[in-house]
Structure 1
Amino acid sequence: MTVASITDGSGELRHALSQATYLDFNATAPVDERVAAEVLRYMTLEFGNAGSRTHGYGQAAKERVNQARREIAEVVEARPEEIIFTSGATESDNIAILGLAAHGEATGRKHIISTQIEHKAVLEPLEVLASRGFDVELLAPSDGGWVPAEAVAAALRPDTLLVSVMAANNETGVIQPVEEIAKVLAGHAAFFHVDAAQAFGKVVAPLQNPRLDLMAISGHKIGAPKGIGALVTRRRGFKRPPLAPLMFGGGQERGLRPGTLPVPLIAGLGTASRLALTEVDVRTDRANQIKELLLRSLLPLGATLNGDPRRTLPTTLNLSLPGVDSEAAIVALKDLAAVSNGSACTSQSYDPSHVLMAAGLPRERIDGAIRMSWGTATIDVPAEEIATRLSALVPR
């Protein structure tokens, strides 16, 4: 098997995925067994409501939620009270971007800087603000897939409200220079928002920069369940970012995100965060070994890497083969390896990748782009057989 087995309620082993090697971790990762055990505990044994203050069940739930805040905060060196639980990075991005609108309108600061390679969870809320009269400026990446800090500096204005740049791209795995951008923003009032869905728990030091005001986190990219995430809302001095809620009713999460807290999912995200931080070096070494194995097998086929290889996550590889369409490659590998040709959120669309188009790559190379991504549950990768299957598609 190529992925870890998990145990169901009867104690019998079952396999979470098919026999094909799963190489689409950037879309979602399997839940870590240790995380699953924690989630199950808070579903069946410690099932209290964290908002119930009159009995021990509620207190136990509240204590686990607070522990999870500490576990997440430690990864990014934030305060536990700066962690707001959400349903995932998409909701976190929406709260961060749309939640600043009222402040921008009240202060007359309606200029926003972002990039052309952001996830739709950022680009679409920005479109909403543009329709409301905000001046949204999207910066183009280099051909290596990253937006230089100098471009942000050149675009910065006195009325800039927000700078939003992802930590690592979901399609290419290219790590963006958020630390350098943070330096550019030193002394400027603009809020810095980072979509860290792909980087949280994999890239540590850059996300610990205190100038990152708002950070979106997704649980299911690091072995936690789907449906749970967080928004980091760092204080400046004693002031929180002036976010207005998008939903109302209940007052949970400091009035910013109401609703009964999903304690089992929160416990899972806390555990997954703790494991990611304590195991980051081992995971990174293993991920680099897998990448090197794939490169040794695929580069001789004439593969071209999409994204500066000096800047990519160790868990991601995006490449194009000469004369090979990505859909044909996916079909050829279907029973061997589960790969993709772009973001899972747009996989039902055959439109070319907006990320690769923004980088100015040729259309043939974009149409042939294949994304492979892996993680801690990846046990073995049949790199040579993958290369053999793909080699049969390369025109002679």
Structure 2
Amino acid sequence: MSLYLDYNASSPVLPEVLDVMISVYKNTPGNADSRTHVYGTNAKKLVLESRRTIASILAVDPTEMIFTSGSTESNNTCILGIADYANKTGKKHIITTAIEHKAILEPLKILQNKGFDVEYIKPDASGRINAEQLLASVRADTVLVSVMFVNSETGIIQPVHQIGKALKSQSVLFHVDATQALGKLNSEIRSLDYDMMSITAHKIGGPQGIGALILKRNDSYQSPPITPLMYGGHQERGFRPGTTPVALIAGFAKAVELCENNLQSSIDGCIRIKNNFYKALDGLTYTINGDPQYCIPSTINISIDGLDAEAAFLCLGDDYAFSNGSACNSSTHELSYVLDAMGLSEKRKAEAIRLSWNGKEDIDFTPFVNIVRSII
């Protein structure tokens, strides 16, 4: 079995989370919307308790949280769901970055084809966008700004606090894709000014197929003017019809609870692992893609001189599971659009690999680097 180093794509389900889900599947079989018997009542109670657990850790009201299938659905709901409001108000300018996940960029293309003006802010070689440049682009007809908290390919933290604080006094909605921040920057999430936020369970040891969209109420107690994308039921305040996945939600809540309780030990472990990786690289020529001072400790995007990334996957794939970017692009051999937006050379992009971990156990990178040396 190969060593898993692709936690940014998806993390293995934690044993404690799996135990909770198995218990729910065995003992709470009811539909949470069945009101005429105890099975439905018990399922509904469990969903309510799980919602409260997650909301408490995120410092939001439970009624501000909508369960979705994950961040992709949450992102699509924010982007496509703003269209009706934008058309009514005539505010059809949207600002985002060139390094967002495809779950942001693709629905934005849909809106562009419908006459929206979408502006893409590029980062510099640090992998970080300039907040002042983005804020200077805000216009009277700007309806939405959408910026990811942490880039999934580089691990670079974006200046969302500065942006959120500045937008708070303006009539512009601010959406944050916090997919890679949850479980790593929880206290920063709680202190952030935003209107909408996307999160998912499977990056933090929870199950795949469950996430959430936070729609925070403003000072006038109004929710962001998002139109639902699906119809057919009243679940999740009408935003997401369909049978509530009770076991997935319970697993999500357990994963969030665990990541909060173990946050510092996880961070310490991730720092230790990254330092071990640097030590193993001694003697090799390499470049870190993105400014390390803004990078989360669980991720490294690195170009090793003379190492073709595709060759690395072939030679190391039996023993190590890692990637060269976001899983949404893994079906193609195209070089990273994120690294391209950073202005990196073709050689550096072709040599780039991404490793990500969870900090629970030490990793000996010596065998990994020895194989790399044999390749180059």
Normalised to the residue count of structure 1, the TM-score between the two structures is 0.93
Aligned to 1:351: 334
Q: CA offset at residue 28 of structure 1?
A: 0.6
Q: CA offset at residue 202 of structure 1?
A: 1.0
Pairing 1:53–2:35 present = yes
Partner amino acid, structure 2, of 1:55? H
Aligned to 1:132: 114
Pairing 1:342–2:325 present = yes
1:267-278 alignment runs, 5 A limit = 267-278=250-261
The answer (yes or no) to whether the contact 1:243–1:256 under 8 Å persists in 2 is: no
Aligned to 1:87: 69
Query: Using the alignment, how far apart are the partners of 1:360 and 1:153 within structure 2?
Result: 22
Query: Using the alignment, how far apart are the partners of 1:170 and 1:236 within structure 2?
Result: 29
Alignment RMSD: 1.1
Shift in CA distance, 145/351, structure 1 to aligned 2, threshold 3 Å: same
1:276-315 alignment runs, 5 A limit = 276-315=259-298
Partner amino acid, structure 2, of 1:167? F
The answer (yes or no) to whether the contact 2:161–2:192 under 8 Å persists in 1 is: no
Query: Using the alignment, how far apart are the partners of 1:299 and 1:340 within structure 2?
Result: 22
Q: Secondary structure at the match of 1:317?
A: strand
**Which of the numbers 93, 98, 104 marks the counterpart of 1:111?**
93
Query: Using the alignment, how far apart are the partners of 1:124 and 1:145 within structure 2?
Result: 21
Partner amino acid, structure 2, of 1:266? I
**Which of the numbers 340, 365, 370 marks the counterpart of 1:388?**
370
Aligned to 2:348: 365
Partner amino acid, structure 2, of 1:285? D
Aligned to 1:218: 200
Aligned to 1:263: 246
Query: Using the alignment, how far apart are the partners of 1:75 and 1:142 within structure 2?
Result: 33
Q: CA offset at residue 359 of structure 1?
A: 0.1
Gaps spanning 5+ residues in structure 2: where?
Answer: none
Pairing 1:71–2:53 present = yes
Q: Which runs of 4+ in 1 moved over 2 A?
A: none
Partner amino acid, structure 1, of 2:47? V
Query: Using the alignment, how far apart are the partners of 2:322 and 2:183 within structure 1?
Result: 22
Query: Using the alignment, how far apart are the partners of 2:375 and 2:271 within structure 1?
Result: 27
Q: Secondary structure at the match of 2:154?
A: coil
Aligned to 2:11: 29
Q: Is 25-34 or 202-211 further displaced after alignment?
A: 202-211
Cα deviation digits, residues 52-91 of structure 1 (max 9, x gap) = 1122211111111111111221232111111100001000
For these two proteins, the number of residue pairs brought into alignment is 375
Q: CA offset at residue 215 of structure 1?
A: 0.7
Q: Secondary structure at the match of 1:392?
A: helix
**Which of the numbers 292, 303, 312 marks the counterpart of 1:320?**
303
Aligned to 1:5: none
Shift in CA distance, 305/210, structure 1 to aligned 2, threshold 3 Å: closer
The answer (yes or no) to whether the contact 1:149–1:177 under 8 Å persists in 2 is: yes
The answer (yes or no) to whether the contact 1:109–1:160 under 8 Å persists in 2 is: yes
Gaps spanning 5+ residues in structure 1: where?
Answer: 1-17
Query: Using the alignment, how far apart are the partners of 1:71 and 1:148 within structure 2?
Result: 35
Q: CA offset at residue 154 of structure 1?
A: 1.0
Query: Using the alignment, how far apart are the partners of 1:333 and 1:325 within structure 2?
Result: 12
Q: CA offset at residue 299 of structure 1?
A: 5.0
Percentage identity across aligned positions? Answer: 46
The answer (yes or no) to whether the contact 2:303–2:353 under 8 Å persists in 1 is: yes
Cα deviation digits, residues 290-318 of structure 1 (max 9, x gap) = 11111111253111101110011111011
Aligned to 1:6: none
Pairing 1:374–2:357 present = yes
Query: Using the alignment, how far apart are the partners of 1:308 and 1:249 within structure 2?
Result: 47
